[in-house]
Amino acid sequence: MGERAHPFFDLHTHGFVRVATCTPFVRPADISGNTDSILTEAAHAHEAGVDLAVYPELCVTGYAIDDLHLQAAVIDAAAAAIGRIVEGSAGLTPVLIVGAPVQRGARLYNCALAIANGRLLGVVPKSYLPNYREFYEKRQFTRGHNCHGLDVTIAGHEAPFGTDVIFAAENLPGFVFGMEICEDFWAPQPPGMMAAMAGATILCNLSASPVTIGRASDRHLHCASASSRGMCAYAYSASGHGESTTDLAWDGQGVIYELGQLMKESVRFDRQAELCVTDIDTARIVNDRTRNGTFHDAAEAAGRPEDWYRRVAFTHNTTAGDIGLRRKIRRYPFVPADPDTLHEDCYEAVNIQVDALMRRIEATGAKSLVLGISGGLDSTHALLVACIACDRLGRPRSDIRGYTMPGFGTSDATRDNALRLMKAAGITAETIDITPAAERMLADIGHPYADKGADGGEEVYDTTFENVQAGLRTDYLFRLAGHHGGFVIGTGDLSEMALGWCTYGVGDQMSHYGVNSGVPKTLIQYLMRWMIDTDQFGHELNEVLEDVLGTEISPELVPAGEHGEMQSTEDQIGPYALHDFFLHHIARYGHSPSHVAFLAWQAWREIETHGWPLGFPEDAKRTYSLGEIRQWLEVFCRRFFGFSQFKRSAMPNGPKVSMGGALSPRGDWRAPSDAVADVWLAELESNVPHTED
C-alpha cells in the first residue's frame, strides 16, 4: 500500500507502534563484528518501518563469554561500540534497545540501552542476577535493583541510569516503553510490572536464555502472563545462533504479546539474523487500562510509580516508508479463532448457556419451557440449548413447548423449518396463526392496513404493522407460560440488543430468561456449525440446522415482494459481521469510531491476507470497502448510542458468554437511556474519509 495523504491511513494516527525483536548474528567477544551486525539489523528494521527494535541481552559482547566481561579491553571496546551504535542510529526510524555491559565507577552492570536517532536515551541495569545451575552472573556483574536517580556517561554520551526510567515519545501518545533483562521477569516481583504501572505500554525484555527442552513454552507462559498482568505489550528477544556453545545452546526465540495475546513469533534455531515484526495497538492498551480500576489501585499500592519514575522524553523519527499494517485483525472477534482450542471454546460457550438455563429451571420449579420457534437462527439455537438442559436434568423434552406463529410475512421455508425442527427435537409443538388477531388489533387502532381490500385501503408496512405481530407473539407466549406453569425463554441475541433491533415491552425484547442475550449473531452461527460438526443431536436434526443456517436472516414481518423476495434484516441495518466487529471494539475497548473503522478496513479489505473462521459459509469471505464500513458504522453509532439503550436498560436476565462483554445494565454496560450519539457521529465524520482514494 502506498502512502496516503489523509491521516486516517497513517498507523501512528491510530496509536499503532511497530515493534520488532531482532536476532543479530553474534560471535563471542567479537565486539566489532557484533556491532556491525546490530547496525545491519537496525537498517533492516528502518526499511521495515519499525518504531522499536529489541535486541538480545549483552549482544554487543556476546552473553556467554563469562569472565571475559571483566577484561578492561572488553569493557572499553563495549563502550566504544555503544558510541558507534548511537552515531549509527542517526536518521533511522527505530528506537534500538541493545544489551551491553556498562561500567559505572568501579561497578560493572548488565544493561539495556535505549538509543534513538543519534541519542543515548537511557540505561537500565539488570535487577536480578541469576547465580544458580549454569548461571554465574554475580561473578561478573553488580545487581542494579536499587539504582535510582543516577546518570552515566558512555563514549561521551550522558544519559539517565537506573531501574526507575521509562521512555516516552512526545509526538506519539501511547508510545511509552520500559525495559527489563532476562532473569528480571522470572522474579516473583518483576521490575517491568513497576514500569507498566508507571505508564509504560510496551515492555522490552533483552534475554540470553539458553535453550533446553520446554524452555520455549516457559518463555511463552511468562510473556503472556506479563503482558496480561501488566496490561501492556511485551517484546522478548533471546540470544540466537553464534553464541558460545561450550556448555549451552541458543534458539533465538523472539515473541511479542499484547494483553495476553500472542501477536508474533520468530523462527527458532535460524542460522541467519532475523526480524520478528508486528504492530502494537497502544490505544487498545490505554483504553483497557482506563477501564480497569484494579490496575490503578495496584499502582497506588506500589507508591504511585508514575510520580517517581523518570520519564525520558524523545521526539520519534516517523519517516518510515512501509505503512501497511503488520497485524492480524480478526474479522469475527467473538468467534473462536484458534483451531487448537476450537472445540473447547465452543464447548464452553454452549455450556455457559446450558448451565445458566438449568439453574433458572431449578430455581423456578418450572413445569414447562415456552419458546417461540420461527425457523430462524436465534430461536433454533435457544431450542438446542433448552434441549441439552432438559437432557441433563433428566426431564423429557416434551416439557419444552414450542410454538410457531405465522403472520403476514412468514415464508413457507421458515414455517417448514420450524415444524421439522420441533419434530426432530422431540418437543411439544403447536402452531398458532396470529394473522386474525393482528388484523383485529390493526383495525382496533385504526391502522391503514385494516382497510386493505376495501376502497381507500393501503398496504402500509410500517413499524406499527411490524410491532403488532412481534407483540402478539410475545403476548401469546407469556400467556401460554402462565397457562402451562412455565416461563418464556427469550431468543434475542446480543447483536440485536446492541442495535435495538427488537420490539420493546411486550415484544421480542422481553422474556422470562434471555438465554441468547450474551451471544452475538456471528457466534450463534458458529456454535450451530460446531453442533453439526460434533453431531450433538443426530442426522435428522442436523439436516434442519443446515437449512436454518442457509436461510437469510429476516424478521419476516412484511409480506413477500412481487417476485417473492423476503424482507432482509441485513439490507435494512447492515451486515451482522460488521456490527459484531463494531460492538466488540467499541463496547469492550471503548475505541473511537475512527479507530474501529481503521481496524475494520484492515480486516475486511482483502481476502488474501485475512482469514475467516473454519466452517463459515462461503459468503463470509466477502470484502467491504471503506465507504461501506463507514456507512454501517454510522448506523451502528446512531442505533447503539442514540436510541436503543432504553431497551437494554429493561432487558431480562441472561448469562454473559464472551470475554467481549455483554450489555446487561446489571453487568458490563451501563448508560443512560436518553443519551445522544452526536459525539461519536462527529468523530466519525471528522476523521474517516468516505473512500480509500
Give the active site residues.
Answer: 57, 126, 182
Q: Is 370 helix (H, G, I), strand (E, B) or coil?
A: strand
Cα dihedral value 550, 460, 471, 653, nearest 10:
60
376 is in an annotated binding site: yes
35 is in an annotated binding site: no
325 is in an annotated binding site: no
Amino acid occupying residue 70 = L
Cell numbers of 69, please?
566481561
Q: Is 42 helix (H, G, I), strand (E, B) or coil?
A: helix
- Give the 3-state secondary structure percentages of the chain, helix then strand then coil, rounded to 5: 40, 15, 40
503 is in an annotated binding site: yes
109 is in an annotated binding site: no
Which strands sit side by side in the sheet containing 400-404, from one edge to the other?
428-431, 400-404, 368-372, 486-490, 513-514
121 is in an annotated binding site: no
644 is in an annotated binding site: no
- Residue located via cell numbers 517484546: 235
372 is in an annotated binding site: yes
* Integer Cα distance of 161 and 54 in angstroms: 18
680 is in an annotated binding site: no
Amino acid occupying residue 565 = E
Spatial neighbors of 601 by CB under 8 A, at least 6 apart, are 624, 626, 629, 692
647 is in an annotated binding site: yes
* Integer Cα distance of 395 and 480 in angstroms: 20
Cell numbers of 297, please?
489501585
132 is in an annotated binding site: yes
Choose among 580, 586, 565: nearest CA to 620.
580
Could you tell me if 306 and 166 are in contact, meaning their C-beta atoms sit under 8 angstroms apart? no
Q: Is 311 helix (H, G, I), strand (E, B) or coil?
A: strand
Choose among 500, 448, 510: nearest CA to 473.
510
209 is in an annotated binding site: yes
Spatial neighbors of 299 by CB under 8 A, at least 6 apart, are 197, 198, 305, 306
In angstroms, the Cα distances linking 334 to 289, 526, 581, 588 are 21, 10, 8, 11
501 is in an annotated binding site: yes
Which strands sit side by side in the sheet containing 274-281, from one edge to the other?
150-154, 157-161, 119-125, 107-116, 95-104, 52-54, 16-23, 274-281
Q: Which residues fall in the annotated binding site for L-glutamine?
A: 132, 209, 215
Q: Which residues fall in the annotated binding site?
A: 132, 209, 215, 372-379, 467, 491, 496, 501-504, 647
Q: Which residues fall in the annotated binding site for deamido-NAD(+)?
A: 467, 496, 501-504, 647
Q: Which residues fall in the annotated binding site for ATP?
A: 372-379, 491
